């Protein structure tokens, strides 16, 4: 089923929500588009039947980032892009479902930051990544400054931020910034393959894993253990106490696929 909003199209496929940014010519993002994207991610988050989201674009661009035409028409540099931050995802920290960015082309500025906010990135061979903000008098403050140095070597991240250096898909793969690089006509299929694999796992385990990864990032291993065991990450305890935690071993012992209930 497809549902066209304005700049964003939603398609459901067996528990996977495909979110497509379709705003020619460059899939640039203004406040209204950020709000549409947030509504899409909110749909993913709130629907128990949905397990994984995929965000992708149309045409030559994944996204050119902030809509400079809107800026020229008066949209403020520090405009409120809604509860999920720029592009609806970059500050959606309470999202409980994983998101895969299927980067079909140029991911520029805020478009790159949107991809960085996803859990996994699958890239087309046509994908290119760069942060040009400093060259136009701004900063990549929707995640580029914070996420990129955690995703690739910090010195290289600094070079990209300070110079606008571009990164091609194969370099991104070599640096583990992206999970896969595929030909353009295989991009969505590859992203769906990853999404379907994730969707076969227990939903509470996926939610807990995402929370633990996010909240322990940057901590020493011992500190991470202390935080995880402290009870400060409720989704971890929820997973441990769930029916699904019993169902998994039972299904394995019985030689059948588990039937997850999400409780």
Torsion 124-203-89-38 (CA) sign:
positive
Catalytic residue among 36, 113, 168, 196: 113
Does the annotation mark 113 as catalytic?
yes
Instruction: Choose, from 133, 168, 189, 220, the residue flagged as catalytic.
Output: 133
With CA atoms as reference, report the closest residue to 130 among 147, 153, 107.
107
Rounded CA gap, 162 and 86, in Å?
Answer: 21
CA distance 242 to 225: 21
How far is the C-alpha of 184 from the C-alpha of 17, rounded, in Å?
20
**Is the bond preceding 25 in cis, omega lying within 30 degrees of 0?**
yes
Torsion-angle region of 37 (φ positive above 0: left; ψ -120 to 50: alpha; else: beta): alpha
What is the Cα–Cα distance from 1 to 35, expressed in whole angstroms?
A: 21
Active site residues: 113, 133
């Amino acid at each position: 089923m497809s549902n066209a909003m304005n700049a964003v199209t939603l398609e459901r496929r067996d528990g996977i929500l495909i979110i497509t940014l379709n705003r020619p010519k460059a899939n640039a993002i203004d406040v209204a588009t950020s709000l549409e994207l947030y509504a899409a991610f909110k749909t993913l988050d709130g629907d128990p039947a949905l397990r994984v989201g995929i965000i992708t674009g149309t045409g030559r661009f994944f996204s050119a980032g902030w809509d400079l035409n809107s800026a020229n028409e008066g949209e403020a540099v520090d405009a409120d892009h809604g509860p999920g931050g720029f592009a609806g995802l970059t500050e959606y920290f309470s999202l409980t479902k994983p998101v895969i960015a299927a980067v079909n082309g140029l991911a520029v500025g805020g478009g790159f930051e949107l991809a960085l906010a996803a859990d996994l990135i699958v890239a087309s061979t046509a994908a290119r990544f760069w942060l040009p903000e400093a060259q136009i008098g701004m900063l990549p403050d929707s995640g580029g400054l914070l996420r990129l140095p955690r995703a690739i070597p910090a010195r290289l991240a600094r070079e990209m931020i300070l110079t606008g250096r571009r990164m091609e898909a194969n370099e991104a793969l070599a640096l583990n910034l992206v999970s896969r690089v595929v030909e353009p006509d295989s991009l969505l299929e590859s992203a769906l393959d990853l999404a379907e694999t994730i969707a076969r796992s227990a939903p509470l385990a996926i939610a807990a894993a995402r929370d633990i990864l996010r909240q322990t990032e940057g901590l020493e291993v011992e500190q991470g253990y202390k935080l995880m065991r402290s009870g400060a990450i409720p989704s971890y305890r929820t997973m441990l106490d769930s029916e699904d935690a019993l169902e998994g071993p039972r299904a394995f012992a019985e030689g059948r696929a588990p039937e997850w209930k999400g409780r």
